[in-house]
Structure 1
Amino acid sequence: MNATTANTWNRYYRPILQLGVPIAIGQLGVIIMGFADTMMVGRFSTDALAAASFVNAVFNLFVYMMLGYSYGLTPLISSLVGQGRRAEAGGTLKYGLICNLVFALLLMLILGVGYCFIDRMGQPAEILPLVRPYYLTIGASLLFVALFNALRQFTDGISETSTGMWVILVGNVLNIVGNFVLIYGVGPFPRLGLLGAGVSTLTARIIMAVIMVALLLGRKRYAAYRQGFCQSAVRTASLLHINRQSFPISLQMGMESGAFTVSGIMAGWLGAVDLATYQVMVTLGGLGFLLYYSFGSGITIRVAHFYGQNDWSSVRSTTRAGVFILLGMAAISSMIFYFGGEFIIHGFTSDPAVISLSLTLILPMILYQLGDSMQICFANALRGTSHVMAMMWVAFVSYVVVNIPAGYLLAFPCGLGVVGLYLAFSIGLILAASLFAWNFYKVMRIGCIGKRGNGVTG
């Protein structure tokens, strides 16, 4: 390795990997938790698996909207810390917490209204008695998810990504153990089935939020941030600024997740087997998505750092490094799906019909990995530059205008069923990747022109 290559590796590739690996480990824990939930519920009964698929499809939309909303904090915190303004970063955390909790309450209100119309969403009648209590239990956990998300984005923004990793891993262990004892009724615990999985998830999310609060209150190295948090006054302008950065990202992720949510509802129109199959494959596909977003967060942190310094050359080089890293992740995910997919599917369910249909979705799921990884790469690079409004419109065109109608046409008029739903994901994700890349390089051109106009070189 020559000196130039070594410098490129140390300046651009290594920081993304160092930031992304702890996030990826934490997200791997999320994947394992999702696998464990689906496997345990699937082993309990196919109806329970179908009910979990429907509720998770609905709630994933709102959970990802909340996650996206919290993502607005990361570049703001990272930029302030890069400039040595720790007290202001603490104040920004305060505004971010308020905004995230209010946003969660609004989404919970929407979900409460939606609960009244569950029986009108075209789902199989036999799963509705399982859906209702699970829906309410998962809904109660959202406020704690919002609290954890905001605090985690703060620690990620100050480049301490391992903090969130360890808390997530603790929560995952608690959730898996809780699932085992509450779904099947081990020892003195009642046999609650799907509701047991919901109670376990709620408990784990409460504990994760409490741990994050305790860490931020107790660690000495956070003293400057705590001081800024306590001393900053709550100003409407500051709250609106957080919302302007956060809401477009929330809508972007919400519309992306919404494509999966609507597709999950359409899978329910095909029957309980198709819905159970959809849940299995969405859980499996989450392996790639969460890995991409882990390293995508590293891209955001590094891009925001260089953007705050007006170093456009490094912004470009960081994004280029991110492209190669995420393409590598997509190749690894695809190989896991191709060579190990059948083995993993058998772990989720013993129903021959679900297994057979799931196997037909492995290649369509592999197909969209390229689009998924690249749309995450360029969306996160764009987020790092704080040019977030374009993200909302790209998501609207790609997922609402194109992906969802394409899924319906391929699944029903074209007769492809759940395979058509997965082929539509490829269309939407590849289009999103192209549009995000176009917008990012548009920002780059404007930034570089402005830099030259100011007489700055580099």
Structure 2
Amino acid sequence: MPDSKVTKKLTLFALTWPIFIEILLHMLMGNADTLMLSQYSDHSVAAVGVSNQIIQVVIVMFGFVAVGASVLVAQNLGANQEKTAGAIAITSLSINLIFSLLLSLGLYLFSENILNIMDLPNELMGEATIYLNIVGGFIFVQALIMTVAAILRSYGFTKDTMYVTIGMNIVNVIGNYFVIFGPFGFPVLGVEGVAYSTMISRFLGFATLLIILFKRTNKTLPIKSFIKYKKEHVKDLLNIGVPSAGEQLSYNASQMVITYLIAQLGTMALTTKVYVQNIAMFIFLFSIAIGQGTQILIGHMIGAGELEKAYKRCLKSLQISIIISILAAIAIYFSSDFLLGIFTDNLTIVEKGALILLLTIILEPGRAFNLVLISSLRSAGDVKYPVFVGVLSMWGVSVTFAWFFGIFLGLGLVGIWIGFIVDEWLRGLLMLRRWRSKVWAKKSFVKKEEAV
């Protein structure tokens, strides 16, 4: 089968560096909230941190459509079936709008009940509820952003999504500055203001992405697919998206349980965890970017029937990701006092956080295995195996070990991180074994193109 017209233009570096910048900026948006709120109140940081953990679980629940769309669009573009790719793109937007609106309503109506399940300390409940009501109530906008961005990246337009993310960050930081520090007599709104700032930036970002999508692909996006679905398109979206989201949902749900365990250790431990994970994000964003870039390339290669090329691409990407993760983790650890000092002047938090960042040198290479290999397996159509292994390991190892070492043996956050390390490495090695087996080679979703 001949190379895709799009595939010929794509390289890992060309795809990955804009994705890297985009993810970095998304992380900076979350870190901007944390950093700016840390000048306001450590309690506010913890409240927003827990609320965001809940929001991340919800994002995964509607993220399944975006995941399915990215794989199917890439595979069909690889097979030179642009009409089918366009129809799938529009259908995925429609489905995700409906589903995410329902989830937004649920978060708005039941935010306090959900936070009560987390056993949140009373001093954090008020601000956490406000943030979850606002950001959670409008979370459908993030669902649409994710879907449009995934489609654009599958077409190879990774720079476009990067530029929009830059704009969203600028709007968010300016908004945060006004509502937290109150310049020119502007009212100080704290957590509530940060939530509104986040949502305004997302609305503007979505509107811009939608305009770009139609401008870039107007010849291959049939609008009728927004209300008239093809059965096989919906089926394929669900076949890829639901298992893929299941793996991520399991991970985030297990993280919520672990956050519940950490809450038993007190507000200081919870705050330390939020700061450490905000810093650690800057380590594994390299692997996320490489994984997403590799997923796009492998999707195109699978669609074009280039199986051996796809096999080698994944292993090479994995090697790069592991090396970068180790170097980044070491650099972050030796800068830990400075980095944690940006967020807080509490010496106990700084000391505990530095110890946890030392453990990330072991953790992050294992995470790199999962981020690259699972993305590759998914893009090849092998989506069920990562879920099966993930659920068993996340709950049987990560949560169980976190409770045993962190709570039962009293090792605190160190024990929690031991659970993370064992889980990531176990899953990562099993994913490597799966990729080498080449079972995924027979799971492509590409079909002969019909009139759309």
TM normalised by structure 1 equals 0.89
- Equivalent positions of 1:198-347 (< 5 A) are 198-217=195-214, 219=215, 221-226=216-221, 228-230=222-224, 233-347=228-342
1:120 Cα deviation from its structure 2 partner: 4.5
Paired AA for residue 142 in structure 1: I
Secondary structure in structure 2 of the residue aligned to 1:322: helix
Counterpart residue number, 1:447: 441
Q: 2:333–2:354: 8 Å Cα contact kept in structure 1?
A: no
> Are 1:53 and 2:49 counterparts?
yes
Say whether the 8 Å CA contact 1:27–1:291 is kept in structure 2.
no
Partner of 1:194: 191
Alpha-carbon contact 1:41-1:48 (below 8 Å) kept = yes
Structure 1's 120 and 201: CA in aligned 2 closer, same or farther, altered over 3 A? same
Amino acid at match of 1:186: P
User: Percent identity at matched positions?
Assistant: 21
Structure 2 counterpart of 1:33, from 29, 33, 36: 29
Q: CA separation in 2, counterparts of 1:342 and 1:363?
A: 12
RMSD between superposed Cα atoms in Å:
2.2
Secondary structure at 1:270's aligned position in 2? coil
**Which runs of no fewer than 5 residues in structure 2 stay unpaired?**
1-6, 445-452
- Name the CA distance, whole Å, in 2 between partners of 1:351 and 1:441: 47
* Aligned residue type for 1:276: T
Q: 2:154 maps to what in 1?
A: 157
Q: CA separation in 1, counterparts of 2:436 and 2:223?
A: 36
Question: For 2:138 and 2:346, how far apart are their aligned partners in 1?
Answer: 31
SS, match of residue 310 in structure 1? coil
* Separation (CA, whole Å) in 2 of partners of 1:98 and 1:247: 16
* Whole-angstrom distance in 2 between the partners of 1:300 and 1:91: 21
Does the 8 Å contact 1:54/1:265 carry over to 2? no
* Shift of residue 323, structure 1, vs aligned partner: 1.1
2:104/2:138 contact within 8 Å kept: no
1:35-94 CA distance string (max 9 Å, x none): 221111112111111211211222222224444541221121112122222222110011
Distance between the aligned counterparts of 2:251 and 2:90, measured in 1?
28
| Correspondence for 1:395 among 372, 390, 397 | 390
CA contact (8 A) 2:65 2:92 kept: no
> Is the contact between residue 93 and residue 229 of structure 1 (CA under 8 Å) also seen in structure 2?
no
1:117 positional shift: 4.4
- SS, match of residue 368 in structure 1: helix
Instruction: Check whether the contact 1:141–1:206 (CA below 8 A) recurs between aligned residues.
Output: no
Once the 2 structures are TM-superposed, how far is the Cα of residue 103 of structure 1 from its aligned partner? 3.3
1:253 is displaced (CA, Å) by 1.3
Q: How many residues align?
A: 435
1:22-101 equivalences in 2 (<5 Å): 22-101=18-97
Distance 1:106 1:425 in 2: 32
Give the AA of the match of 1:360. L
1:362 to 342, 357, 366: 357
Partner of 1:453: none
How much has 1:445 moved relative to structure 2? 5.0
| Contact 1:50–1:272 (CA under 8 A) maintained in structure 2 | yes
Distance 1:399 1:110, change over 3 A: farther
Supply the distance in 1 between the matched residues of 2:145 and 2:269 (Cα, whole angstroms): 34
Q: Take 1:426 and 1:399, find their aligned partners in 2: how far apart are those partners?
A: 11
Q: 1:354 to 1:22 in 2, by over 3 A?
A: same
Offset of residue 440 of structure 1: 2.2
Partner residue in 1 for 2:104: 108
